[in-house]
Amino acid sequence: MADSVETERLVEVAIEAAHAGAAVLRRFFRHDDLQVHSKGDHDFVTKADHESEEAILGVIRSAFPDHHALAEESGHSEPVQESDGDEYQWIIDPLDGTSNFLQGVPMFCISIACRRRGQVMAAVVYEPIRDDLFSAGRGLGAHHNGQAMRVSERLSLDDAFLATGYPFRAKATLDAYLDCFRAVFLKSRGIRRVGAAALDLAYTAAGIFDGFFEFRLSPWDIAAGALLVEEAGGKVTDLDGMERYLSSGNVLAGPPGVHTGLLEVVGGRVSEDLVAELEE
């Protein structure tokens, strides 16, 4: 009981933090004076990213001053205040879907997860424009706007409606990805690209998409969405069918039958070792 109460508290704080970050994003969305900087090839960061992250960390700092945080714009793990505690770590993306945000496309989100001793315990993905909230606590199930949610009832990859993302940060893997895309496309009913991996995973958890696959994501893209899928009855692995997706960034997700199909088709063409070799 104590663990479930603790997990519920982590979810509550994650929701509060997501709303704080969302207030920043709404203020900057479609604002002409938004400052933009390049982090790399076709990879951008805005003033909105930074201020959203600070708002999120402010809520977490107030509730749990001894917890650590791994946040996209901070780029490394550090205590939110000086402390000897290192049991808890918050994994934060203050704006997943920055390119959509910059173009005025209302498809972006905040992703917040908290893990304890390496295991994700609480997760929130929040879409500010639609006020769409996805949350989960380990062992407590997953919810969409307060209502219990489940992955789709699709039993196999055949005729599945899927989501994916292009490996724009890992162009060396593009040919391997396109080979997988073609094979999955020929078996599925359709494949969509939202442009925010955390939303893809949230929509998969809610049964909107039947499954999701993508290469070379970052931990803050995956951590919250993966728990949503798992607590909604789905399965999430890397290309080898293992649970090392936070370190590799390669993700296959969906209901058990769809996941099995993705593992057969995608995992049958590429492996974790192959994708890593392509980037060397």
pTM > 0.95: no
Backbone φ, ψ for residue 257 (5° rounding): -65, -40
Closest CA to 228 of 239, 240, 236, 238: 236
User: Per-residue pLDDT tens for 15-42?
Assistant: 999 999 999 999 989 876 655 555 444 4
| CB of 196 closer than 8 Å to CB of 96 | yes
Closest CA to 94 of 201, 218, 184: 218
**pLDDT score recorded for residue 105:** 94
Domains of the chain: 2-148 (3.30.540.10), 161-278 (3.40.190.80)
**pLDDT score recorded for residue 76:** 47
**pLDDT score recorded for residue 213:** 98
Low-confidence ranges of the chain (pLDDT < 50): 1, 39-44, 76, 79-85
**pLDDT score recorded for residue 130:** 95
**pLDDT score recorded for residue 219:** 95
